[in-house]
Amino acid sequence: MRDFIVRAEGLKKHYPLSGEGGRKKLHALDGVSLTIQQGEILGIVGESGCGKSTLGRCLLRLTDITAGKVYFDGADITDHDRRALKNIRRNMQMIFQNPYSSFDPKYKLGTSLREVGKVNDIKEEVLEERIKRLMEYINLPGDMLDRRPSELSGGQLQRLAIARALLLEPRFIVADEPVSALDVSVQAQILNLLTDLRKEFNMTMLFISHEMTVVEHLCDRVAVMYLGRIVETAPTRKLFSGLLHPYTRALIRSVPRSHPDEECERIILSGEIPSAIDLPKGCRFAKRCPRATALCFESEPELTEIEDGHYVACFEQ
Amino acid sequence: MERRLLEIRDLKVDLMTQRGIVYALQGVNMDICEGEIHGLVGESGCGKSMTSKAILHLLDRRRSRVSGSVLLEGRELIGLSEREMRKVRGNLISIVFQDPMISLNPLMTVGDQIAESYTNHQGDSRKAALAKAFDMLELVGIHPADRRMKQYPFELSGGLQQRVMIAMAAACRPKLLIADEPTTSLDVTIQAQILELFKELRRELKMSILMITHNFGIVAEICDRVSVMYAGRVIETASSRGIFDRTAHPYSRALIASIPKARHYCEYLPVIPGSPPRQFEREIGCSFRPRCPYRDASCDRAQALSKVGEGHMSACTRAFDRG
């Protein structure tokens, strides 16, 4: 099992809700198991509220876990306290969606970057050397470090956010919608940068996105989440050509076509994304599923391997 | 050629900012035909939303200067008084913004907000207005309408809120509905529903829709024609097939190429070098020339839209000529 940088087993994160005597809970994550290998980019897709971001936060232990286990580099970090976490955190970093809110607006960017090194006791010469090298990588002039966030464009700032995440040479990065706020031409630059960086640093990454084409472009493997659970996971090409779970199918077929003449058998899901508070009995997707049978409303299908590396949670398979 | 509903000619907007004048629109030319869904695409800051605001007179008069011509069925809108514009807004042209949560009034029920369109614009009584609001909710697919009428915006999901916004905008059956990134804050599954709704409304109410978006997928999905903007100008207009099959302008080409495509695997995406101009100066020549692989000396001169095919205009034909 040494190959796995990150492993989660039966991960649950429930948020108690105020009111109703505290008996109701929001099931943000409800039993997620996954592994991420060294050098792999795992994409997580799903609609808002499916638990994508909570999953990222749990893997980094930015939040406490209700049940299940998280392993990082072979060690169980589920119950690590703050001090123990500090030591492993330098090996795990995060990139957020909005770069303007992930930098202190009053700090010069150089200060924000150097702070990371200081907190983690990195020697100044080493730190400066790394910053210099990273600035070359992200293709920004060094004098950008003397500016403040408001003076940069979203794309430039997101590149700096990536540089900051790489400053400690982490072994694992969670990128939560890192290109969603950017224009397509800037998005292309950032995606190319990530491709470069993964080659250079053999980076391992959890890439959270709601944009299917972006995930398809960048990721090695994709996990589709629905209401706190993984419903399908497979190597990217297999997932996009196989499309076994009815939810994956609907999700992919909701993406606007890339040409007016493209044949596209649209599947429009009726209804809204159900709430993670009152979970339905049986398969969580049954209510919106065009193929649901009586069985689907009775019991919940398990994630089962149907082909090498391809797992689906659906009775039809 | 179908009848033109809206003709925009040489529309210019100068904005007075603390850092000086920004030449936000530098001569926009665009036609919207009756009953068509016309896409307006481009990247942040290119002037898509500015165009819609200028059409509707939503810019602060003290901080902006608008010139040029906007004809709605032959009638000039630029220069109309606020009083006259009020009769245009809502009745003839209306708008749906990106984020329904900030556009809706949190203290009013959904029914009252839609009814307000009728009492304000058509002088209906409250009772008559509420009855029409009910019909409108049904039309935009909000069920059960009677219960939803009494709900407040926060009780609805993002998708339903956007349907309410669309109901309000379409309430008085305007000739033109401007939709400014109406699905950008929604999930793809909900986006697909909302796009269907726009198609349905166009069919039912026979209106034209100006669909402002940064997403070429939406153009392919529902637009009949499309105009591409760059640095405050429309640089290409084509049918939505034409824009993909016979892309003429180098910027349109580069932009479409930089989008990751489904089932199409490549290691690196083509990128456009540099970044868009900041528009502190009026540009005479082509604004894209510093980033353009096809540039030559003649790009310093003004580049008017010229015909490159049936219903297809481009401000540049260099990429076309060279294949």
**Whether pLDDT at A2 is above 70:** no
Are residues A258 and B217, on separate chains, in Cβ contact within 8 Å?
Answer: yes
d(CA A253, CA A78): 37
**Whether pLDDT at A246 is above 60:** yes
**Whether pLDDT at B282 is above 70:** yes
Phi-psi region of B218 (alpha: psi -120 to 50; beta: other; left: phi over 0): alpha
Say yes or no: A272 contacts chain B, CB-CB below 8 A.
Answer: yes
In chain B, the domains with their CATH numbers are: 4-92+180-321 (3.40.50.300), 101-173 (no CATH)
Burial class (CB in 10 A: 0-12, 13-18, 19+), A214: buried
pLDDT digits (tens, 9 = 90+) for B12-65: 999 999 889 999 999 999 999 999 999 999 998 899 999 999 999 999 999 999
d(CA B14, CA B20): 10
* Averaged pLDDT for residues A150-167: 90
Are residues A188 and B262, on separate chains, in Cβ contact within 8 Å?
Answer: no
- How close B80 comes to chain A (CA, Å)? 35
Q: Structure tokens of B186?
A: 């929604």
d(CA A125, CA A145): 17
Say yes or no: B260 contacts chain A, CB-CB below 8 A.
Answer: yes
pLDDT digits (tens, 9 = 90+) for A103-147: 999 999 999 999 999 988 889 999 999 999 899 888 888 889 999
Largest Cα–Cα separation, chain B = 66
pLDDT digits (tens, 9 = 90+) for A169-202: 899 999 999 988 888 888 998 999 999 888 888 8
Chain B CB contacts of A192 under 8 Å are: 268-269, 271
d(CA B208, CA B193): 19
CA distances to A38, A165, A174, A256, B236 from A171, rounded to whole Å, are: 8, 11, 10, 35, 46
- A1: pLDDT confidence band, cut at 50, 70 and 90? very low
Q: Which of A156, A157, A184 to mutate to test the interface with B (most CBs of B within 10 A)?
A: A184
Chain B CB contacts of A186 under 8 Å are: 43
**Whether pLDDT at B241 is above 90:** yes
Question: Strands, DSSP E only, in chain B?
Answer: 4-17, 20-33, 37-41, 64-72, 75-76, 93-96, 176-180, 208-213, 225-230, 233-239, 306-309, 312-314
d(CA B12, CA B297): 26
**DSSP H or E stretch at residue A9:** strand A4-16
Name the closest residue on chain B to residue A237, using Cα atoms: B263
Residue keyed to tokens 């904005």 = B15
Q: What are phi and psi of B35, to 5 degrees?
A: 75, 5
pLDDT digits (tens, 9 = 90+) for B115-129: 999 999 989 999 999
With H, G, I as helix, E, B as strand and everything else as coil, classify residue A14: strand
Chain A CB contacts of B220 under 8 Å are: 256-260, 262
pLDDT digits (tens, 9 = 90+) for B79-113: 999 999 999 999 999 999 988 888 999 999 999 99
Among B234, B257, B251, which residue's Cα sits nearest to residue B313? Answer: B234
Chain B CB contacts of A213 under 8 Å are: 259-262
pLDDT digits (tens, 9 = 90+) for B214-231: 999 999 999 999 999 999
Q: What are phi and psi of A172, to 5 degrees?
A: -145, 135
Residue keyed to tokens 């001569």 = B27
Compute the C-alpha angle A268/A274/A277, nearest 5°. 170
Say yes or no: A141 contacts chain B, CB-CB below 8 A.
Answer: no
Calculate the CA dihedral of residues B157, B161, B162, B166 and round it to 10 degrees: 150
**Any residues with CB less than 8 A from the CB of A265 and at least 6 apart, and which?**
A253
Q: Structure tokens of A31?
A: 């039993």
- How close B7 comes to chain A (CA, Å)? 25
Q: Structure tokens of A186?
A: 């800037």
Residues A195 and A45 sit within 8 Å (Cβ to Cβ): no
CA distances to A297, B92, B121, B198, B304 from B132, rounded to whole Å, are: 39, 18, 13, 19, 46
Say yes or no: A139 contacts chain B, CB-CB below 8 A.
Answer: no
* Averaged pLDDT for residues A208-216: 92
Q: Contacts from A262-267 at CB under 8 Å and sequence distance 24+?
A: A262/B220, A266/B192
pLDDT digits (tens, 9 = 90+) for B190-216: 899 999 999 999 999 999 999 999 999
In CATH, A4-91+170-312 is 3.30.479.10:
no
**DSSP H or E stretch at residue B144:** none
Pairing of strands B93-96, B176-180: parallel
d(CA B90, CA B58): 13
**Whether pLDDT at B1 is above 70:** no
Say yes or no: B196 contacts chain A, CB-CB below 8 A.
Answer: yes
Are residues A240 and B195, on separate chains, in Cβ contact within 8 Å?
Answer: no
Are residues B44 and A183, on separate chains, in Cβ contact within 8 Å?
Answer: yes
Q: Angle between the A124-137 and A184-201 helix axes, to the nearest 10 degrees?
A: 130
HSE (side-chain half, CA atoms, 13 Å) at B90: 15
CA distances to A209, B22, B63, B280, B288 from B18, rounded to whole Å, are: 37, 10, 10, 12, 26
For residue A154, the tally of other CB atoms under 10 A from its CB is: 16
**Whether pLDDT at B78 is above 50:** yes
Question: Strands, DSSP E only, in B91-188?
Answer: 93-96, 176-180
Q: What is the pLDDT of residue A172?
A: 94
With H, G, I as helix, E, B as strand and everything else as coil, classify residue B148: helix
Residue keyed to tokens 């699905």 = B183
Name the average pLDDT for chain B. Answer: 93
pLDDT digits (tens, 9 = 90+) for A29-59: 999 999 999 999 999 999 888 999 999 999 9
User: How many helices (H) does chain B have, and how many strands (E)?
Assistant: 12, 12
Are residues A185 and B196, on separate chains, in Cβ contact within 8 Å?
Answer: no
- How close B250 comes to chain A (CA, Å)? 14
pLDDT digits (tens, 9 = 90+) for B166-199: 999 999 999 999 999 999 888 888 899 999 999 9
Chain A CB contacts of B46 under 8 Å are: none
Greater confidence (B81 vs A244) lies with B81
Q: What is the pLDDT of residue B323?
A: 60
d(CA B32, CA B38): 7
Are residues B267 and A240, on separate chains, in Cβ contact within 8 Å?
Answer: no
Name the closest residue on chain A to residue B224, using Cα atoms: A260
d(CA B120, CA B208): 22
- How close A303 comes to chain B (CA, Å)? 23
Chain A CB contacts of B259 under 8 Å are: 184, 188, 213, 258
Greater confidence (A272 vs B45) lies with B45
Residues A149 and A88 sit within 8 Å (Cβ to Cβ): no
d(CA A170, CA A89): 8
pLDDT digits (tens, 9 = 90+) for A13-32: 999 887 766 678 899 999 99
Say yes or no: B17 contacts chain A, CB-CB below 8 A.
Answer: no
